């Protein structure tokens, strides 16, 4: 008959952060999504290298909307991080305002991006550049929208007081949102900054 | 630390806790890794038979020159579906079946890290398989080969829904592969029994882990390429279409960035099966465990840098071709390390010639032949002569069938007692093996010759004066022989389920943890979570170099609901109790919603697609909803 051990110390149940399987699962998700963007950027570069005319066809894209929008998105990560840490350390009673503010900043990003799409002189199907431009920024936009949904669901659970201080859900939401922002930085550098030549 | 015996009521409680509910609900809602593993195995073998019937139909058409058994268009669909079926719907899922069933048992855990995700990946696999097959009865199956090259598959040259089924179906299947792979990776990192540090894991676990990490990195390339193709075909974008500045070669780069690593994903876990099971029949541990484990990982790492060897004939710069040719040849080094390890294990052991041993020994021979022809096609100068001939078909069947099918069948015989509690018949097994082995070589070795004689692949017939009619007839006879061997194998398998000799927990006298439980294992796998001190927990009393002793009868009980222990990623020190979810309909619901989405996208019913997407989102939110934790600090560890 097997014997069971009586341990001296107790172990946590479904512990926070790296103790949970969810944290590692999110890491896998982020890896595979990150690689997806790497293949998108590879496609962008390959089409650009092989293009017969200039790349991008109409010259470098303007920064007037994209640059402030980038700053806004990166700022949203800072807001989320500061807010979540204050909640964790017990200085804030709730994360709901921070989650809503972050989601709002994300929503403004989406609207500005939409506006930028509208201002383009080319459409989705005009050529290789327009196809990859809209696909790459569109994939990112879809990720932002998914992130906003996640933040709103988290805010709802926070309002119902179902989120714990060291809990997993908030940690996963933060990881995903930061990932979306870091990916944007790479996309922004690829599409907007690299083609800017003096 | 003190120990107490596990009383019988506690054992019954564990069984009750982990049992799947009876009836239709339980069938739809189960998250038991053993049931899901068996489902994977059965489904993938059904697809193996479908792909086999397709292959035989093709071989009838090719048996003689100028036959008209199939129309060219039918031939295209059948060879495409044969490739898609064997590569995507049989070869990887069958390995997932083994890993799903065996991992928690080998690792000393009660389930995979994400049991519901496990169920989801199975349902997605099943539904995407059906999705890929819906076109075949309508004469609208994918017809661009499993590689699906543009511009042949662009809408100008291939209108209809054939290629859309391929593109959407593989995105669909890719979701299953990625979630399944993430589950394997986290299971490996977090749920090993205390003491099972990474240098004590079975090689199968190394193989599947390496393949799973590779899947996480490779599958997005295919999903993206398929998505771009779908946009090109249905919305007029120009990723691959030359008229808008697109690049047909981009398809090949993305496809083979995925496709080549995937080939290793299909073989590394089956090489792991051999590395774990072959030593049992040699009555000694595997020679060079560390070298084989590292060779597994090295193969995969180099495997990501060789995709261009599928593209030597596309006019790439010489520098690129030289680099990728060298990289492809270097990959022979880790493969040879594994081969020498197996040969040394047989050489220095006392082999018992049971049926699984025959499969593993046969595999080594086929692997060497396939490896040599791989070395030949890796050399660019030779490849320019051999590319798109039957020589390549011979090579890829030697590697894929040789490395995947033979270990899988050997593994089925080997673990059959664990799955079913009974042994497979030895005499029938020998007959099946020899028919299959001779049939295999009759079918595929002459393909090298017809390839060298100049017969192109992917053609539906050939002229009589090419002089390969006799060889092709022989190939067809070999193919039918191989198929009859497989049927005999399956007959033996089904027959042994009811009349096979009763096996007992460890009929082969094997050293790894899965053989320490009853056959078949109880729902909770282990009454207590064992504590591991070596690579061969069941052989410790006879191996001299083992210092410590594993504790298989003393360990953590964990009986407060479905629980298993979580350990640190490298050293497997216990640091958390993982509370596992129970049976749930959410995986099936999510898979159904995803199917609705994909079928609607295929039919361009955008409203229904939106509804499917919304349903999937709602299911996901329910899936992740926080559950109240009754006792965050566990009061009673253990016992």
Average per-residue pLDDT for chain B: 93
Average pLDDT over residues A130-139: 96
Cβ–Cβ below 8 Å for A169 and B244 = no
Assign B56 a pLDDT band (cuts: 50, 70, 90): very high
Condensed to tens digits (0 to 9), the pLDDT of residues A50-91 reads: 998 888 988 899 999 999 999 999 999 999 999 999 998 888
Give the distance from residue A64's alpha carbon to the nearest chain B alpha carbon, in angstroms: 27
Assign B300 a pLDDT band (cuts: 50, 70, 90): very high
**Rounded percentage of chain B residues whose pLDDT exceeds 90:** 87
Count residue pairs from A and B with Cβ separation < 8 A.
Answer: 201
CB-CB contact of B476 with B60 (8 Å): yes
The alpha carbon torsion through B427, B350, B103, A19 (nearest 10 deg) reads 170
Assign B626 a pLDDT band (cuts: 50, 70, 90): confident
Assign B107 a pLDDT band (cuts: 50, 70, 90): very high
Cβ–Cβ below 8 Å for A24 and B624 = no
Cβ–Cβ below 8 Å for A132 and B239 = yes
Please determine, for residue B628, whether its predicted confidence score (pLDDT) is greater than 80: no
Q: Which residues of B touch A5 (CB under 8 A)?
A: 1-3, 528, 554-557, 638-639
A28 and chain B in contact, CB less than 8 A: yes
Q: How many CB atoms lie within 10 A of CB A4?
A: 25
Please determine, for residue B638, whether its predicted confidence score (pLDDT) is greater than 70: no
Condensed to tens digits (0 to 9), the pLDDT of residues B225-274 reads: 999 999 999 999 999 998 889 999 999 999 999 999 999 999 999 999 99
Greater model confidence, B18 or B629: B18
A175 and chain B in contact, CB less than 8 A: no
Cα(B332)–Cα(B337) distance, rounded to whole angstroms? 9
Of the candidate ranges A13-17, B66-70, B440-444, the one whose mean pLDDT is the lowest: A13-17
Cα(B606)–Cα(B287) distance, rounded to whole angstroms? 58
- Report the predicted TM-score, pTM, of the whole model to 2 decimal places: 0.95
A46 and chain B in contact, CB less than 8 A: yes
Condensed to tens digits (0 to 9), the pLDDT of residues B484-499 reads: 999 999 999 999 999 9
Assign B575 a pLDDT band (cuts: 50, 70, 90): confident
Tell me if residue B579 falls in helix, strand or coil: strand
Assign B542 a pLDDT band (cuts: 50, 70, 90): confident
Assign A9 a pLDDT band (cuts: 50, 70, 90): low
A116 and chain B in contact, CB less than 8 A: no
Please determine, for residue A163, whether its predicted confidence score (pLDDT) is greater than 70: yes
CB-CB contact of A51 with B245 (8 Å): yes
Cβ–Cβ below 8 Å for A46 and B186 = no
Cα(A152)–Cα(A150) distance, rounded to whole angstroms? 5
Give the distance from residue B629's alpha carbon to the nearest chain A alpha carbon, in angstroms: 9
Instruction: Provide the ipTM.
Output: 0.95
Backbone CA torsion sign across A148, A150, A155, A160: positive
CB-CB contact of B414 with B356 (8 Å): yes
Condensed to tens digits (0 to 9), the pLDDT of residues B419-468 reads: 999 999 999 999 999 999 999 999 999 999 999 999 999 999 999 999 99
Cα(B339)–Cα(B344) distance, rounded to whole angstroms? 9
- For residue B556, give the nearest of A4, A31, A52 by CB distance: A4
Cα(B31)–Cα(B562) distance, rounded to whole angstroms? 12
Burial of B189: CB neighbours in 10 Å, binned 0-12, 13-18, 19+: buried
Contacts of B257 (CB under 8 A, 6+ apart): A39, B218, B221, B304, B307
Tell me if residue A8 falls in helix, strand or coil: coil
Assign A7 a pLDDT band (cuts: 50, 70, 90): low
The alpha carbon torsion through B241, B243, B246, B251 (nearest 10 deg) reads 20
According to DSSP, residue B574 is labeled: E
- For residue A46, give the nearest of B247, B632, B639 by CB distance: B247
Please determine, for residue A6, whether its predicted confidence score (pLDDT) is greater than 70: no
Assign B472 a pLDDT band (cuts: 50, 70, 90): very high
Cα(B529)–Cα(B563) distance, rounded to whole angstroms? 10
Of A97, A61, A57, A53, the closest CA to residue A79 belongs to: A97
Strand partners, B4: A4
Question: Hey, of A9, A13, A46, A50, which one would you mutate to test binding to chain B, going by the most B CBs within 10 A of its CB?
Answer: A13
User: Longest C-alpha distance within chain B, in Å?
Assistant: 83
Cα(B283)–Cα(B288) distance, rounded to whole angstroms? 15
**Rounded percentage of chain B residues whose pLDDT exceeds 70:** 97
Instruction: Compute the C-alpha angle B573/B579/B581, nearest 5°.
Output: 135
């Amino acid at each position: 008959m097997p014997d069971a051990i009586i341990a001296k110390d107790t172990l946590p149940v479904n512990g926070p952060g790296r103790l949970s399987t969810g944290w590692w699962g999110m890491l896998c998700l982020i890896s595979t999504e990150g690689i997806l963007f790497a293949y998108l950027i590879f496609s962008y570069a390959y089409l650009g290298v092989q293009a017969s005319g200039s790349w991008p066809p109409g010259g470098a894209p303007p920064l007037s909307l994209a640059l402030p929008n980038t700053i806004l998105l990166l700022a949203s990560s800072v807001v989320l991080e500061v807010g979540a840490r204050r909640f964790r350390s017990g200085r804030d009673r709730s994360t709901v305002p921070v989650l809503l503010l972050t989601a709002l900043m994300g929503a403004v990003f989406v609207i500005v991006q939409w506006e930028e799409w509208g201002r383009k002189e080319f459409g989705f199907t005009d050529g290789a550049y327009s196809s990859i431009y809209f696909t790459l920024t569109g994939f990112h936009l879809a990720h932002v929208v998914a992130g906003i949904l996640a933040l709103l669901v988290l805010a709802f659970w926070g309002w119902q007081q179902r989120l714990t201080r060291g809990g997993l859900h908030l940690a996963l939401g933060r990881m995903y949102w930061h990932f979306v922002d870091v990916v944007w930085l790479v996309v922004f550098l690829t599409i907007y900054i690299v083609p800017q030549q003096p | 630390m003190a120990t107490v015996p596990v009383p019988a009521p506690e054992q019954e409680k564990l069984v009750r806790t982990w049992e799947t509910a009876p009836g239709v609900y339980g069938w739809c809602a189960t998250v038991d890794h053993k049931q899901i593993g068996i489902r994977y195995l059965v489904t993938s073998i059904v697809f193996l038979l479908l792909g086999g019937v397709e292959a035989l139909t093709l071989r009838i058409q090719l048996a003689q020159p100028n036959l008209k058994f199939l129309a060219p268009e039918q031939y295209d669909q059948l060879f495409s579906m044969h490739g898609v079926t064997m590569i995507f719907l049989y070869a990887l899922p069958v390995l997932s079946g083994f890993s799903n069933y065996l991992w928690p048992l080998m690792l000393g855990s009660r389930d995979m890290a994400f049991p519901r995700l496990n169920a989801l990946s199975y349902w997605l696999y099943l539904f995407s398989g059906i999705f890929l097959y819906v076109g075949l009865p309508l004469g609208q199956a994918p017809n661009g080969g499993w590689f699906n090259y543009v511009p042949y598959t662009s809408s100008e040259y291939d209108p209809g829904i054939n290629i859309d089924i391929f593109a959407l179906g593989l995105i669909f299947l890719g979701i299953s592969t990625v979630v399944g792979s993430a589950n394997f990776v986290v299971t490996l990192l977090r749920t090993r029994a205390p003491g099972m540090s990474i240098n004590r894991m079975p090689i199968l676990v190394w193989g599947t882990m390496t393949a799973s990490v590779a899947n996480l990195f490779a599958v997005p390339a295919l999903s993206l390429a398929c998505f771009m193709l779908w946009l090109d075909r249905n919305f007029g974008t120009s990723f691959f279409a030359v008229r808008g500045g697109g690049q047909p070669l981009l398809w090949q780069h993305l496809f083979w960035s995925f496709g080549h690593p995937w080939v290793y994903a299909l073989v590394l876990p089956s090489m792991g099966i051999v590395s774990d099971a072959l030593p049992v029949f040699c009555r000694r541990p595997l020679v060079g465990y560390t070298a084989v484990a590292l060779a597994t990982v090295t193969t995969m790492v180099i495997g990501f840098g060789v995709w261009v060897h599928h593209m030597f004939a596309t006019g790439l710069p010489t520098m690129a071709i030289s680099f990728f040719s060298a990289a492809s040849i270097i990959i022979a080094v880790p493969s040879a390390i594994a081969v020498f390890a197996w040969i040394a294990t047989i050489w220095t052991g006392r082999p018992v010639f049971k049926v699984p041993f025959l499969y593993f020994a046969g595999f080594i021979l086929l692997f060497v032949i396939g490896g040599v022809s791989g070395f030949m096609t890796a050399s660019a100068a030779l490849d320019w002569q051999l590319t798109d001939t039957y020589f390549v078909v011979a090579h890829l069947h030697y590697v894929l069938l040789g490395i995947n099918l033979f270990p899988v069948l050997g593994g089925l015989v080997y673990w059959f007692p664990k799955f079913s509690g009974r042994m497979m018949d030895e005499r029938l097994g020998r007959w099946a093996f020899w028919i299959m082995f001779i049939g295999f070589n009759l079918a595929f070795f002459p393909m090298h010759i017809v390839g060298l004689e100049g017969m192109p692949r992917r053609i539906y017939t050939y002229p009589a004066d090419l002089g390969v009619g006799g060889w092709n007839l022989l190939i067809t006879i070999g193919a039918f022989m191989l198929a009859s061997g497989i049927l005999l194998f399956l007959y033996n398998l089904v027959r042994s389920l009811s009349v096979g000799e009763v096996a007992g927990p460890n009929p082969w006298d094997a050293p790894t943890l899965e053989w320490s439980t009853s056959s078949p294992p109880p729902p909770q796998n282990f009454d207590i979570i064992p504590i591991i001190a070596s690579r061969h927990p069941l052989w410790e009393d006879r191996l001299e170099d083992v210092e410590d002793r594993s504790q298989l009868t003393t360990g953590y009980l964990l009986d407060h609901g479905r629980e298993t222990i979580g350990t640190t990623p490298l050293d497997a020190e216990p640091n958390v109790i993982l509370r596992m979810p129970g049976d749930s309909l959410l995986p099936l619901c999510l898979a159904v919603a995803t199917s609705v989405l994909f079928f609607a996208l295929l039919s361009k019913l955008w409203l229904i697609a939106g509804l499917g997407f919304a349903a999937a989102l709602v299911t996901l939110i329910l899936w992740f909803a926080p559950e109240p934790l009754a006792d965050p600090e566990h009061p009673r560890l253990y016992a």
